[in-house]
Chains A and B, each alone.
Chain A
Amino acid sequence: MRDDPEVVDLVTRARKGDRAAWDEIVERYSPLVWSICRRFRLVRPDSDDAAQTVWLRLVENLDTLREPAALPGWLARTAHRECLRRAREIRRRDGAERPLDFEPETGPDLIAEELEKAERDLLLRRAFAQLPPRCRDLLTLCLGPDPVPYAQIGERLGMPVGGIGPNRSRCLARLRRILEGGGHAAGS
């Protein structure tokens, strides 16, 4: 993700005023920003405010961002800073009832960890979105948290029960091919 040419393209287009490119940036990286807010135990509406501030900062810095390819890292650092600021404000507001029970020093680790997770999740979500609808429906039913019995899956999708296992394998194989052929996969 950090060297994703698509990210550079999105930033370049957004700089020129392309709304769709901006929307795509927000869609792609909101889970990253949100996940960092959760690490700071921020709940709504504080998490909304912190996330909103991150996007305001990006609009403000869009033209001066030195390395568009490094956008995810920039967003993660900005989210970390804004969430920390907000968490401290809450602490001041609510006194010692809600102490900060994490060390701000863990910032670089937290950021690296969240970036890696977000990178993996984004690749998976994008690969999943490229699957045919029938595969997406089948895998969604197989995902849990409570696995749907094959008989019910068969009924819902109009698929013979004996075909579900092999179809599931085929869909997962397809997902793997998309992931491995994506050009961004590590070690390829």
Chain B
Amino acid sequence: MPQGHDRWSDERLLGELARALRAGERVPPEALAAGKAVFAWRAPDAELAAGDLDTRIYHAAGLTIEVEIAPDALHVRLTPAQPAEVEARGPIPPSHPATPGEKGRFTIRPLPRFPFYLLCRTAGGRKIVTGWILG
């Protein structure tokens, strides 16, 4: 804030205050609520697999998660193939468990609503999450 010689006049201060309060009110309440809600989907004890939004391939130590989005389903492939529990997590509904297939493949049907992220629990007890998949 300007001080000393640069101190704002009463009128200027009122004007700046009006602008600041308007800027605060401009955010729609629903947008604020949506921003707050994303915290609930946090999995703080999980490892984050580094990923690429475009290729949808995520890498964690010793594990690669490939995600393929089909119109009716989500296909996930773990390399190396291994037994695991895979689920997509998002706001509504909170969890979509995957059905395991052969050779590290998993399917979630129907396609979960965006945005969601994948949580993999390996047989060795590791918890790995991908970044948000936005659609």
By beta carbon, the residue of chain B nearest A58 is B38
- Are B10 and A172 in contact, with the CB atoms below 8 A? yes
Q: Which residues from chain B contact A139 at a C-beta distance below 8 Å? A: 14, 17
- Are A14 and B39 in contact, with the CB atoms below 8 A? yes
Q: Mark B14-35, 1 if CB is under 8 A from A, else 0.
A: 1011111101101110111011
By beta carbon, the residue of chain B nearest A27 is B32
Q: Which residues from chain A contact B23 at a C-beta distance below 8 Å? A: 31, 35, 117-118, 121
Assuming the contacts A52-B35, A60-B48, asked whether A128 and B21 have C-beta atoms less than 8 A apart, the reply is yes
Asked if B100 is at the interface (CB within 8 A of a chain A CB), the reply is no
- Are B20 and A59 in contact, with the CB atoms below 8 A? no
CB distance from A70 to the nearest CB of B (A): 19
Contact count A vs B, C-beta below 8 Å:
115
CB distance from B52 to the nearest CB of A (A): 14
By beta carbon, the residue of chain B nearest A35 is B23
Asked if A144 is at the interface (CB within 8 A of a chain B CB), the reply is yes
- Are A17 and B3 in contact, with the CB atoms below 8 A? no
By beta carbon, the residue of chain A nearest B114 is A49
Q: Which residues from chain A contact B14 at a C-beta distance below 8 Å? A: 139, 142-143, 172
* Interface of chain B, main secondary structure: helix
Contact of B38 among A44, A56, A63, A180 (CB under 8 A): A56
Bound CA–CA A59/B18 (angstroms)? 32
Asked if A110 is at the interface (CB within 8 A of a chain B CB), the reply is no
- Are A51 and B31 in contact, with the CB atoms below 8 A? yes
A interface, size bucket:
35 or more
Q: Which residues from chain A contact B24 at a C-beta distance below 8 Å? A: 31, 121, 125
Q: Mark A11-40, 1 if CB is under 8 A from B, else 0.
A: 000110101001100110011001100100
Bound CA–CA A123/B2 (angstroms)? 12
- Are A34 and B31 in contact, with the CB atoms below 8 A? yes
Contact of B19 among A38, A63, A121 (CB under 8 A): A121
Bound CA–CA A125/B20 (angstroms)? 6
- Are A26 and B20 in contact, with the CB atoms below 8 A? no
Bound CA–CA A120/B15 (angstroms)? 13
Which chain B residues have a beta carbon within 8 Å of chain A's beta carbons?
1-4, 7, 10, 13-14, 16-21, 23-24, 26-28, 30-32, 34-36, 38-42, 44, 48, 115, 131-132, 134
